[in-house]
Each structure stands twice: as C-alpha cells, then as structure tokens.
C-alpha cells in the first residue's frame, strides 16, 4: 500500500481535525490520500520524517493580499509576493482587485491579472472582483470567470480608480451575489461620517488615529448588517479594528444573518500607545488602536465573532511611506507583513492560552471557507497536500533585509517573534522559490 503514495509524512505533531495528534499522511497526485497512525506504512521509500520540535499545519490561506501587478509592480508583484508568502507558510493567497492597473472590475482586467500571475506565482492564487459605482453589470461575468468573491469600499479607497459605493449600491450587490453564492467583502469605513472629519497632517500618530475614529467603522458595520438582513446575502467585514462593533456582530449571529468578519495581525499585536510620532510604517486604515481595544479583539476571536486573521498586505515603495518626513497625512497607508503573519499571531496567541489548532482555524480553514476553496486550509483526506512545517518554540528577530516582499518596509523590524516556518509544501512538493508552479484558482473548483 505504501508504494501507492508519492510521499509519506510522519510527524509526532499534526494539526488535524481541530486538535494536535501524531499521524502519518499519505500523499498521492498532490492530494492527501490517507491519514493514519504514525506507525503506518513502515516500508515506504519516499518518507519525510519529522521530529517533535515541529508541527505540521495546513498550508495557510491569506484571503487579503494586495499584489499590485500589473501596473504598479514597483510596489509589489506576483513573484515577490508569492515568495514572501511561501516563506511564511502560506500556500494560497487571494489577490485584491485594486492597486493594479487595470483594476479587476471586468473580465478583461481579470484576464490581465491571470496572465501576469500564471508564470510567476510560487503558490496558488485566487482573485477577487471589484464592485464600483455603475459596475453591477460586471458581477455575473466576473463570477462566471471564476473570481472567488467581490470587494467594495464604503469610504475612500485611497485610489481614484476604485471609488466607494453607497450603502444602497452595497445592498444591490449583496442581493445579486446572494443568488450567485458569492460573498461581498466590504471595507467598513463610512464615507458620510468621514466627510465631517478633517484629514490628519504631520507627524503625530494621535492625530492620525483621531482622523479615523471607531465610529467610522461602527456606522459602516451597522449598515452592512442591515443590508445582510434585508437581502440574505453574505457580507464579510474586512480588517475589523474597532472592538465596539463586536456586540453588533454578536447580535447578527444570534439572528443567523450571513455576516462574517476578519481582523489582522497588526491589530492584534501592535497598539497605538507604542507607536512613535513619525513612524509611518505603522500607518494603515482602519488604524491600529489602543491596547484595551486590542484585548477585546482577542476576546472576539475566542468567542467566534471574528472568523479569520489575514495580512491585508498592502505594500508600497519606501518613498511612498514617507519615512523621512514621518507625515501621516501624506504617507501610504498599509502594513507589509505577508511573510511574518504566522509568527506574529502565534507569538501573541500562545501568551493568551490559544493553541496552534486555533491559529490554523483562523489563518487556514477560515479564509479557505470564505473564498469557497473546499480543498484548501485543512489536513483531511481529499484536500490538497498543502502543508506548513512550523517550529513553534524557535524564535527570531525580524530583519527587513531577510524579507522577500519587494520593498523591505515593515513595522515589525527588530521585534523578536516566536515560531519559524521550516518548510512550505504545495500539493505534496516543497515550494520552489526558483521555479514557479502555483495554480490559478476558481471559486468552488475541485
């Protein structure tokens, strides 16, 4: 029987079925074909034997990544983004529809994205379609072309090419997507509330934080919940930073509305009290908030109100971050952490009593479910043999020079993190950072 497998992995610690167990995993044709006790198949030839200092996790799925190619590859491209992702244990990423040129709001733009990605990607990639004013007619063609979901903004996107939609247009989009079985991912900051707030200028982080109060998120999330109630559509709240919104989400869950939510490593580990003035590497929208807010986000994860953790890797050139001037008003808003997410989250999660099974649920299974990728995010028979070999008790200090995304800017520079990715396996083979072999994914494809 062991001769039927292309590879057998024996490990004392495997995150499987929601717990950590010892198992032997048989891989055939890129899929997990069998999971047995660790003593199975003793005569196998192609075997990866793993010691007890590492844990086999499902390959992570990051459903919120801004790749920027084609058109803005000086910020990021598929080659660099997928190398960084693989180095961080990610085997699948979902590309956002803005920050590239053209933006992914029609099938021609989607084709351009796929063409750019298919020969450069070291891991598997799915694509989101964009919803902009006047663009509802493109949703069905994009869905049929295979996007894994759709994204919109309720406030300023930072790009003149990707304007926000109104709450009414969001409702129309949710109604249409309900019939297609596709989610609408929503940047939840209210344009109406933001219109009365002066933009931040200068080096004070407190001024920038004040320009994006929690109320911008809270109002938008209330609008999202009511639209989901009215339409029955699946509304997903992107990068939630305001803990004030968690009771609203709890109410929506009790009423069985189709509302899900994510947060990001930077909201769970960085806090406003520790951000120096002028430190624009920390700028993002919504902003990094106070420590007390952060702890409530962890409670939201514990209570199941936050479904997943994703990077929102939003890269820029060094110049765009305005590191010299430290002006939060003009600096690019985005955190680059694609390669570091697993270690960032594990460092904070273990201190709070969470397990690697929890982390796998948030960073692999949850994002795969959102994207409709049934064969990703789990170690289970029939799933793709996408795996991350992780040393949870090993530490390292973040050196930007060792990061593989295009521009070495990160707010985590100099931080000590726990957990090192030893190996990333895509469909039964170690990811090759020289020869790309990532596949382009479609929602629901087997």
* 395, 343 Cβ separation under 8 angstroms: no
**CA separation for the pair 131, 153 (Å, rounded):** 8
Q: Are residues 17 and 108 in the same domain?
A: no
Question: Domain check: are 69 and 105 in the same one?
Answer: yes
Same structural domain for residues 196 and 257? yes
E strand spans, 114-187? 124-127, 129-130, 150-153, 184-187
Domain membership flag for residue 208:
yes
Write the CATH number for 35: 2.30.40.10
Q: Are residues 171 and 195 in the same domain?
A: yes
**Does 41 share its domain with 168?**
no
Structure-token match 């600096």, residue found: 331
Last residue of a domain, one of 16, 37, 52: 52
One pLDDT digit (tens) per residue for the chain, 446 residues: 566 899 999 999 999 999 999 999 999 999 999 999 999 988 777 899 999 999 999 999 999 999 999 999 999 999 999 999 999 999 999 999 999 999 999 999 999 999 999 999 999 999 999 999 999 999 999 999 999 999 999 999 989 999 999 999 999 999 999 999 999 999 999 999 999 999 999 999 999 999 999 999 999 999 999 999 999 999 999 999 999 999 999 999 999 999 999 999 999 999 999 999 999 999 999 999 999 999 999 999 999 999 999 999 999 999 999 999 999 999 999 999 999 999 999 999 999 999 999 999 999 999 999 999 999 999 999 999 999 999 999 999 999 999 999 998 999 999 999 999 999 999 999 999 999 999 999 987 76
Are 9 and 71 in a shared domain? no
Residues 316/365, Cβ–Cβ less than 8 Å:
no
User: Quick one: 64 and 13 in the same domain?
Assistant: no
pLDDT of residue 210: 97
Q: How far does CA 186 lie from the centroid of its chain?
A: 14
Are 275 and 378 members of one domain? Answer: yes
| pLDDT at residue 42, as a whole number | 81
Give the Cα separation of 176 and 144 in Å (integer). Answer: 13
Total of domains in the chain? 2
Q: How far apart are CA 185 and CA 151, in angstroms?
A: 5
| Residue 349 and residue 230 share a domain | yes
Asked if residue 25 is part of any domain, the answer here is yes
Give the side-chain half-sphere CA count within 13 A for 119. Answer: 3
Q: Is 244 exposed, middle or buried (0-12, 13-18, 19+ CB in 10 A)?
A: middle
- The reply to whether 36 and 163 lie within a common domain is no
Token pair for 199 = 């933009």
* Residue 441 in domain: no
Q: How far apart are the first and last CA of the chain?
A: 25
- Residue 55 tokens read as 């844990």
Q: What is the CATH number of the domain that holds 69?
A: 3.20.20.140
In a domain? residue 434: no
State the residue range of the domain holding 6.
Answer: 2-52
Instruction: Identify whether residues 82 and 28 lie together within a single domain.
Output: no
How high is the pLDDT of residue 446?
61
Residues 272 and 374 in one domain: yes
**Residue 298, domain member (yes or no):** yes
Indicate whether 431 belongs to any domain: no
């Amino acid at each position: 029987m062991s001769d039927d497998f292309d590879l057998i992995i024996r490990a004392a610690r495997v995150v499987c079925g929601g717990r950590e167990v010892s198992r032997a995993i048989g891989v055939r044709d890129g899929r997990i074909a069998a999971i047995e006790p660790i003593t199975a198949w003793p005569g196998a030839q192609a075997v990866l034997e793993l010691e007890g200092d590492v844990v086999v996790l499902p390959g992570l799925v990051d459903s919120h990544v801004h790749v920027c190619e084609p058109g803005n590859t000086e910020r990021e491209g598929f080659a660099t983004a997928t190398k960084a992702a693989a180095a961080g244990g990610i085997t699948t990423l979902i590309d956002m529809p803005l920050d590239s040129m053209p933006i992914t709001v029609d099938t021609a733009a989607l084709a351009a994205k796929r063409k750019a990605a298919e020969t450069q990607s070291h891991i598997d990639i799915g694509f989101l379609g964009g919803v902009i004013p006047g663009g509802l007619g493109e949703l069905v063609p994009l869905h049929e072309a295979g996007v894994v979901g759709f994204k919109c903004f309720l406030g300023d996107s930072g790009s003149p090419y990707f304007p926000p939609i109104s709450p009414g247009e969001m409702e129309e989009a949710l109604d249409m997507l309900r019939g297609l079985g596709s989610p609408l991912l929503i940047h939840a900051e209210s344009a109406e509330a933001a219109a009365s707030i002066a933009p931040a200028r200068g080096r004070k982080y407190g001024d920038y934080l004040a320009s994006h109060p929690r109320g911008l998120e809270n109002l938008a999330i209330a609008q999202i919940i009511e639209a989901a109630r009215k339409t029955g559509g699946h509304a997903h709240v992107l990068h939630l930073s305001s803990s004030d919104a968690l009771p609203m989400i709890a109410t929506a869950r009790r009423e069985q509305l189709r509302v899900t939510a994510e947060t990001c490593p930077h909201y769970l580990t960085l806090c406003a009290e520790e951000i120096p003035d002028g430190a624009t590497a920390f700028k993002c929208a919504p902003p990094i908030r106070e420590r007390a807010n952060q702890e409530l986000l962890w409670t939201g994860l514990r209570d199941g109100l936050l479904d997943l953790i994703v990077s929102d890797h939003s890269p820029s050139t060094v110049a765009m971050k305005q590191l010299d001037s430290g002006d939060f008003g003009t600096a690019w808003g985005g955190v680059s952490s694609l390669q570091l997410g697993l270690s960032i989250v594990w460092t904070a999660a273990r201190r709070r009593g969470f397990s690697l099974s929890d982390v796998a649920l948030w960073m692999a299974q949850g994002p795969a479910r959102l994207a409709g990728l049934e064969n990703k995010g789990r170690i289970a028979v029939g799933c793709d043999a996408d795996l991350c070999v992780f040393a949870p008790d090993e530490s390292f200090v973040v050196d930007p020079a060792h990061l593989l995304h295009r521009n070495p800017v990160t707010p985590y520079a100099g931080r000590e993190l726990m957990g090192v990715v030893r190996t990333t396996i895509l469909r039964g083979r170690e990811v090759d950072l020289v020869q790309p072999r990532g596949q382009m994914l479609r929602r629901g494809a087997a």
